[in-house]
């Protein structure tokens, strides 16, 4: 099977910003032909998001956009123009899957919603992804993953009990939901393979992401207890947290599971007094004196190099790691070994460094199959190769303003 | 959708979500637990705070739609029973540290040789190979290793994680994608394969591509509570409300700038700012800040204006305005508010499952997606330890469970 596990899968992708493109990126990595449609009249928000090349903003300079769209084909098309609509419907006939992540009702307003598309292609799989779902009183609530993270309970939980919420970073549900979205697409394709039946799938980013809060939701439900912010405390493990290391804003994360690991921690930190302290002799005792313990551990870690200390703790059987920023991630020997970063050709910059596929398949390995698409880079290829249009037809489309 | 397929799930707390997703899709997921039950069952909280393997809410959260079999795979009779079970399986999912399943003949190479059609998914902290393959993972350690942790928390305190562990869930969800991709490949080629999931790499998705900052010669992001700092500019995404907090996507540029403009128009209408503040160029505002045309102190003043405005209004009023005016504002919900959400109620999100053993019914998080033609069903409550040992090993495989039991294998 050349070209990847999904080389027989054709996706017409109208999803934009982060969650949707992250999902179809996984499919493209594994060989699916993903044709993204973007209108220059309404550019993808991801193009406005950092990091940018040399910290200079620009629509073709966004690392966020490149990282989520590498390996896809890009057609600039305005499907709301009469001529653009014809191209769009031809692509629906070509595709196995159509994906979109506009505010609910947008496709209907364009006359391109499920009943219309199914009429064009009876066994089509269509996946609509939005913040809250296609129905319900908040269906019209459109926006970004930071809003879904807030309304789904994530943002209130991150941070310190004595401070306002710090939340998980930025648009958290945009990082959770892409996996559910990719699974939904593949499952609907599996259903079609077995039954011949296409269908519409409605994925609410909030609903999918709530599975990442499962135990706390059940605790509230069953025991009436509401989880709130608690810093880095853990109900099972102690010491547990982020402790200072040598240097400015340098930290090491340590999670100690059991008496043997605690003894190993004290030995590596050369703090025999800590190991002998009755307040820290058992797990329950350590939990009862967590503040004093955290303070003692922080005092002991502060002079150490975070990478060196993490390596020695791991060698002694203690879970620990340096808290890495992007420079340290880029240099991380494990991520290098895993080829987590990959140099990808770029029309204007020779190559750019992006993330590779996150998981490995032994027989059908993922591969980045081309650069991140610049505007209109594949318009000609899509129209000629996929749709078989000739020069005259393409000239007409250009004249009609459909390819903008 | 996967009802014809069987999953043998050997994972513990590090990999439960993968099997649950496949089970939600209809697969017959058989969780193979060590005698006494999975270590995941020792994680709290517990139903009624009674510490018992059948009452772990952590276990409940990730094992519905599954059956449970206990087997001691460290010993030959248990191993033979597992081999029989694997002959009937389409997927094998494990979360054992690299190399530790070799003695049981369940390492990737042996499984590939003995069960060539099987899709074998392994979820580990750092992946199967590499200098850190033997390193121990824990939620906070993996978030540190993969990049999200440094981005999260108050600027004047250590980085901070969510109190509900997330790292293994990112890995488990990626594992489900990998399993589905490998299944698709198997349907085309007839061959199974191994899927090697590294939690470190999975959590890196939660950096919003800021993991590339160094590679792009862009500055590192500095954490800021409810926002982020880039260079001298601090973006704020969480604001106070009269009864808590709200999230606002207060950003700029051609796509988000118009929303910020509408927010400032509302604030001006209500007397919260002057016309000059309202009429700033919100589309080009980032460039104005970067080029010093707009002093940073002025941006700080604008954020304070917004905070004063939202602090005087309850979350519900701010959400209603967001819907009516097309603004990017959402309430920062407590878990109680999430469970009481009219939106989730209208969509009948919560799914009741009977727990007859406890005489109770529990509402579980519902379908991760609505499939029009093949809806996801909540068929089974999470299984008690070894609840289906006789049914599966005896009834379906025809093994002599009494003898296995006598030999200590189940």
| Burial (CB count within 10 angstroms: exposed 0-12, middle 13-18, buried 19+), residue A329 | buried
Nearest CA in chain A to B133: A334
Task: Decide if B321 touches A, using CB distance below 8 A.
Answer: no
Contact B194 A361 (CB under 8 A): yes
Q: Which of A335, A341, A366 to mutate to test the interface with B (most CBs of B within 10 A)?
A: A335
| Mean pLDDT to the nearest integer, A383-400 | 96
Largest Cα–Cα separation, chain B: 84
- Look at strands B370-371 and A199-204 and give their pairing: antiparallel
**CB A294, CB A287: distance < 8 Å:** no
Nearest CA in chain A to B152: A169
Task: Decide if B253 touches A, using CB distance below 8 A.
Answer: yes
User: Is pLDDT at A1 greater than 70 in this prediction?
Assistant: no
Order across the sheet with A319-322: list the strands: A240-244, A251-255, A319-322
- The angle subtended at Cα B368 by Cα B363 and Cα B371, nearest 5°, is 110
Contact B205 A358 (CB under 8 A): yes
Q: Which of B343, B353, B357, B360 to mutate to test the interface with A (most CBs of A within 10 A)?
A: B343
Tell me whether residue A294 is one of the annotated catalytic residues: no
| Burial (CB count within 10 angstroms: exposed 0-12, middle 13-18, buried 19+), residue A254 | buried
**CB B55, CB B355: distance < 8 Å:** no
State what percent of residues in chain B have pLDDT above 70.
100
pLDDT in tens, B287-332: 999 899 999 999 999 999 999 999 999 999 999 999 999 999 999 9
pLDDT in tens, B133-158: 999 999 999 999 999 999 999 999 99
Kindly report the average pLDDT of chain A as a whole number: 96
Q: How confident is the model at residue B190 (pLDDT cuts 50, 70, 90)?
A: very high
Contact A235 B44 (CB under 8 A): yes
| Burial (CB count within 10 angstroms: exposed 0-12, middle 13-18, buried 19+), residue B304 | exposed
The pTM for the full model equals 0.98
Q: Structure tokens of B153?
A: 């928390």
What's the gap in Å between the CA of A345 and the closest CA on chain B?
14
Contact B216 A51 (CB under 8 A): yes
Q: What is the ipTM of this complex?
A: 0.98
- Look at strands A33-38 and A73-76 and give their pairing: parallel
DSSP symbol at A98: E
pLDDT of res. B407 = 87
Q: Which of residues 203-222 of B touch A (CB under 8 A)?
A: 204-222
Q: Structure tokens of B366?
A: 């519902």
Nearest CA in chain B to A333: B131
Q: Which residues of A335-362 are buried (b: 16+ CB within 10 A; e: fewer)?
A: beebebbbebebeeeeebbbbbbbbbbb
Q: Based on C-alpha coordinates, what's the Rg of chain B?
A: 26
**CB B139, CB B166: distance < 8 Å:** yes
| Mean pLDDT to the nearest integer, B184-211 | 98
Contact B255 A45 (CB under 8 A): yes
User: Is pLDDT at A382 greater than 70 in this prediction?
Assistant: yes
CA nearest to A253, candidates A245, A261, A243, A262: A243
CA nearest to A349, candidates A61, A55, A48: A61
B160 contacts in chain A (CB < 8 Å): 158-160, 166, 231-232, 242
pLDDT of res. A371 = 85
pLDDT in tens, A286-325: 999 999 999 999 999 999 999 999 999 999 999 999 999 9
pLDDT in tens, A338-363: 999 999 988 778 899 999 999 999 99
- Cα–Cα distance measured from residue B72 to residue B58, given in angstroms and rounded to the nearest whole number: 23
pLDDT in tens, A134-185: 999 999 998 999 999 999 999 999 999 999 999 999 999 999 999 999 999 9
| Mean pLDDT to the nearest integer, B5-19 | 98
Q: Which of B24, B371, B378 to mutate to test the interface with A (most CBs of A within 10 A)?
A: B371
User: Is pLDDT at B89 greater than 90 in this prediction?
Assistant: yes
Nearest CA in chain B to A336: B130
Contact A5 B166 (CB under 8 A): no
Name the H helices within B190-279. 199-203, 253-269, 275-278
**CB A376, CB A403: distance < 8 Å:** yes
């Amino acid at each position: 099977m050349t070209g990847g596990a999904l080389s027989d899968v054709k996706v017409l992708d109208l999803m934009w910003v982060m969650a949707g493109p992250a999902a179809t990126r996984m499919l493209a990595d594994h060989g699916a032909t993903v044709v993204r449609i973007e209108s220059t009249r309404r550019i993808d928000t991801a193009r406005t998001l950092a990091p940018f090349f040399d910290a200079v903003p620009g629509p073709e300079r966004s690392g966020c956009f490149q990282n989520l769209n590498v390996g896809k084909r890009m057609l600039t098309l305005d499907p709301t123009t009469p001529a653009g609509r014809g191209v769009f419907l031809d692509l629906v006939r070509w595709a196995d899957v159509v994906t979109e992540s506009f505010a609910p009702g947008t496709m209907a307003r364009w006359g391109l919603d499920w009943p219309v598309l199914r009429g064009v292609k009876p066994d089509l799989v269509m996946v609509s992804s939005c913040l809250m779902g296609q129905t319900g009183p908040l269906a019209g609530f459109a926006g970004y993953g930071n809003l879904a993270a807030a309304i789904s309970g994530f943002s209130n939980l991150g941070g310190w009990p004595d401070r306002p919420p710090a939340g998980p970073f930025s648009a958290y549900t945009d990082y959770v939901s892409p996996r559910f979205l990719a699974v939904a697409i593949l499952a609907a394709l599996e259903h079609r393979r077995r039954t011949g039946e296409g269908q519409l799938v409605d994925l609410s980013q909030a609903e999918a992401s709530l599975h990442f809060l499962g135990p706390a939701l059940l605790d509230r439900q069953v025991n009436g207890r509401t989880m709130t912010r608690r810093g880095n405390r853990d109900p099972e493990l102690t010491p547990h947290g982020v402790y200072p290391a040598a240097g400015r804003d340098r930290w090491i994360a340590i999670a100690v599971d059991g008496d043997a690991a605690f003894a190993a921690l004290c030995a590596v930190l050369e703090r025999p007094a800590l190991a002998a302290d009755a307040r820290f002799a058992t797990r329950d005792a350590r939990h009862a004196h967590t503040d004093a313990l955290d303070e003692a551990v922080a005092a002991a870690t502060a002079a150490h190099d975070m990478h060196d200390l993490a390596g020695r703790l791991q060698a002694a059987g203690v879970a620990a790691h340096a808290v890495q920023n992007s420079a340290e991630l880029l240099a991380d020997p494990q991520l290098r070994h895993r080829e987590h970063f990959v140099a990808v050709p770029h029309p204007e910059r020779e190559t750019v460094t992006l993330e590779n596929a996150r998981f490995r398949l032994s027989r059908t390995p993922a591969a980045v199959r081309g650069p991140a698409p610049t505007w209109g880079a594949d318009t000609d290829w899509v129209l000629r190769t996929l749709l078989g249009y000739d020069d005259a037809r393409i000239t007409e489309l250009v004249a009609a303003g459909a390819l903008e | 959708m996967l009802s014809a397929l069987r999953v043998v799930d050997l994972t513990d707390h590090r990999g439960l979500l993968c099997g649950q997703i496949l089970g939600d899709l209809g697969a017959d997921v058989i969780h193979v637990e060590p005698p006494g039950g999975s270590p995941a069952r020792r994680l709290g909280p517990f139903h009624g705070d009674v510490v018992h393997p059948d009452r772990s809410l952590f276990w409940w959260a990730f094992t519905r739609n599954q059956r449970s079999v206990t087997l001691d795979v460290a010993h030959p009779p248990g191993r033979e029973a597992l081999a029989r079970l694997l002959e009937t399986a389409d997927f094998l999912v494990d979360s054992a540290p690299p190399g530790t399943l070799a003695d049981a003949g369940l390492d990737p190479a042996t499984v590939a040789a003995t069960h060539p059609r099987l899709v074998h998914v392994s979820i580990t902290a750092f992946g199967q190979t590499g200098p850190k393959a033997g390193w121990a993972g824990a939620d906070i350690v993996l978030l540190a290793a993969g990049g999200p942790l440094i981005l999260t928390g108050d600027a004047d305190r250590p980085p901070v994680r969510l109190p509900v562990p997330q790292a293994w869930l990112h890995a488990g969800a990626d594992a489900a994608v990998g399993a589905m991709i490998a299944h698709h490949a198997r349907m085309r080629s007839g061959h199974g394969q191994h899927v090697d999931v590294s939690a470190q790499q999975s959590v890196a998705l939660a950096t919003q591509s800021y993991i590339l900052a160094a590679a792009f010669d862009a500055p590192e992001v500095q954490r800021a509570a409810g926002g982020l700092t880039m260079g001298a500019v601090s973006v704020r995404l969480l604001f106070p409300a009269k009864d808590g907090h709200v999230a606002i996507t207060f950003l700029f540029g051609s796509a988000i700038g118009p929303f910020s403009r509408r927010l400032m128009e509302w604030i001006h209408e209500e007397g919260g700012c002057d016309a000059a503040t309202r009429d700033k160029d919100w589309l080009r505002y980032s460039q104005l800040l970067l080029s010093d045309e707009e002093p940073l102190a002025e941006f700080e003043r604008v954020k304070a204006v917004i905070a004063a405005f939202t602090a005087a209004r309850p979350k519900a009023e701010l959400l209603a305005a967001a819907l009516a005016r097309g603004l990017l504002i959402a309430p920062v919900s407590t878990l109680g508010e999430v469970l009481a959400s009219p939106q989730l109620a209208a969509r009948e999100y919560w799914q009741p499952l009977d727990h007859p053993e406890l005489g109770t019914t529990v509402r579980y998080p519902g379908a991760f997606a609505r499939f029009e033609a093949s809806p996801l069903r909540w068929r089974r409550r999470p299984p008690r330890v070894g609840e289906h040992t006789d049914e599966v090993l005896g009834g379906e495989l025809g093994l002599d469970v009494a003898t296995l039991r006598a030999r200590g294998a189940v």
